[in-house]
């Protein structure tokens, strides 16, 4: 199966600074890597994803980079705001066609300090 | 119904009891998933179904069973609950399998005493 490791487990940054969360994966066949944000007491929601045919994807203040050779991908949040405080999960898709699944990382609790 | 719903919202259950967590989606998504969320362990896949009539085992399937009789419903059953099954359970659905966005339900908080 797939093993996804996520670091750090907690991260505190000053409002306006950047935050970076990193994940590694084990299955070289994985080709889809989403990031989910979970606010306190809420359900996880997709914020950005990347496929293995691109190295970087941006959406306003968030970006994701992928290094297939090293099998790691990262989430970058710039100009952080209080509403960015949440738990962030990375994930990787694996499995044979028709039986594909996501394996999630263990999460990063991001706190934005006003 | 709009989106994906779960019931109950929370439940306290005595060990050894049988419990079914319900999940319904009205988006006509083919794929559905059950995850459990425990502090420090993230989201772990219990069972999944890529289409009505088929199911598969995830990372932590022991003690759980599922069925997928139709597109909309994907119930999760604990045949004989144990305290280690205390967790928050999320159901999710996707119209493109694991290669696209998964939409999560609001979750069920289950406590087994």
- Cα–Cα distance, B5 to B108 (Å, whole number): 10
B61 conformational bin, left if phi > 0, alpha if psi -120 to 50, beta if neither: alpha
Cβ <8 Å between B42 and A45? no
pLDDT mean over A23-35: 95
Structure tokens at A41: 């007491």
**Cβ B98–A104 below 8 Å, yes or no?**
no
pLDDT (0 to 100) of residue B65: 98
CB nearest to A43's CB, from B56, B59, B107: B107
Q: What sign has the CA pseudo-torsion A32, B88, A37, B95?
A: positive
**Nearest residue of chain A to residue B58 (CA atoms):** A101
Q: What is the pLDDT of residues A60-114, one digit of tens each?
A: 999 999 999 999 999 999 999 999 999 999 999 988 877 888 999 999 999 999 9
Given an 8 Å threshold on Cβ–Cβ distance, is B101 in contact with A46?
yes
Q: Note the pLDDT of residue A100.
A: 85
Query: How high is the pLDDT of residue A32?
Result: 94
What pLDDT score was predicted for residue B11?
97
In this structure, is the dihedral angle defined by the CA atoms of residues B76, B55, B6 and A102, taken in order, positive or negative?
Answer: positive
**Model confidence pLDDT, tens digit, residues A42-62:** 999 999 999 988 899 999 999
From the number of C-beta atoms within 10 Å of its C-beta (0-12, 13-18, 19+), residue A29 rates as exposed
> Tell me: the pLDDT tens digits for B18-70?
999 999 999 999 999 999 999 888 999 999 999 999 999 999 999 999 999 99
How far apart are the CA of A84 and the nearest CA of chain B, in angstroms?
19
Per residue in B67-109, pLDDT tens?
Answer: 999 999 999 999 999 999 999 999 999 987 777 899 999 999 9
Does residue A26 belong to the interface with chain B, where contact is any CB pair within 8 Å?
Answer: no
Contacts of A98 in chain B (CB under 8 A): 50
A107 Cβ contact list (under 8 Å, min separation 6): A6, A9, A38, A87, A88, A89, B42
Question: Shortest Cα distance from A62 to chain B (angstroms)?
Answer: 17
From chain A, the residues in CB contact with B25 under 8 A are none
pLDDT of A12 above 90? yes
Task: Report CB contact under 8 Å: A89, B105.
Answer: no
Q: Say yes or no: A14 contacts chain B, CB-CB below 8 A.
A: no
- Give A105's contacts in chain B (Cβ within 8 Å): 42
The predicted structure's pLDDT at residue B1: 53
Structure confidence at residue B113 (pLDDT): 97
Q: Which of residues 65-104 of A touch B (CB under 8 A)?
A: 89, 93, 95, 98-104
Q: Tell me the C-alpha distance between B52 and B55, whole Å.
A: 8
Residue A97: predicted pLDDT: 78
**Any bridge partners for residue A46, and if so which?**
A36
């Amino acid at each position: 199966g797939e093993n996804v490791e996520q670091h750090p487990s907690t991260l505190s940054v000053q409002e306006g600074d950047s935050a970076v969360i990193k994940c590694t994966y084990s299955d070289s066949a994985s080709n889809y890597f989403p990031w989910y944000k979970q606010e306190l007491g809420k359900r996880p929601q997709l914020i950005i994803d990347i496929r293995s045919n691109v190295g970087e994807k941006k959406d306003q203040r968030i970006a994701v980079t992928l290094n297939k050779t090293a099998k790691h991908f990262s989430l970058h949040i710039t100009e952080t705001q209080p509403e960015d405080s949440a738990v962030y999960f990375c994930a990787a898709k694996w499995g044979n066609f028709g039986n594909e699944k996501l394996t999630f990382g263990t999460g990063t609790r991001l706190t934005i300090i006003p | 119904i709009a989106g994906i719903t779960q019931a109950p919202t929370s439940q306290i259950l005595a060990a050894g009891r049988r419990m079914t967590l319900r999940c319904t989606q009205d988006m006509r998504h083919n794929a559905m998933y059950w995850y459990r969320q425990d502090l420090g362990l993230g989201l772990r896949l219990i069972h999944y179904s890529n289409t009505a009539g088929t199911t598969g085992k995830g990372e932590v399937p022991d003690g759980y069973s599922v069925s997928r009789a139709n597109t909309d419903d994907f119930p999760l059953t604990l045949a004989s609950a144990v305290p280690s099954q205390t967790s928050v359970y999320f159901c999710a659905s996707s119209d493109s399998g694991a290669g696209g966005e998964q939409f999560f339900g609001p979750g069920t908080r289950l406590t087994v005493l």
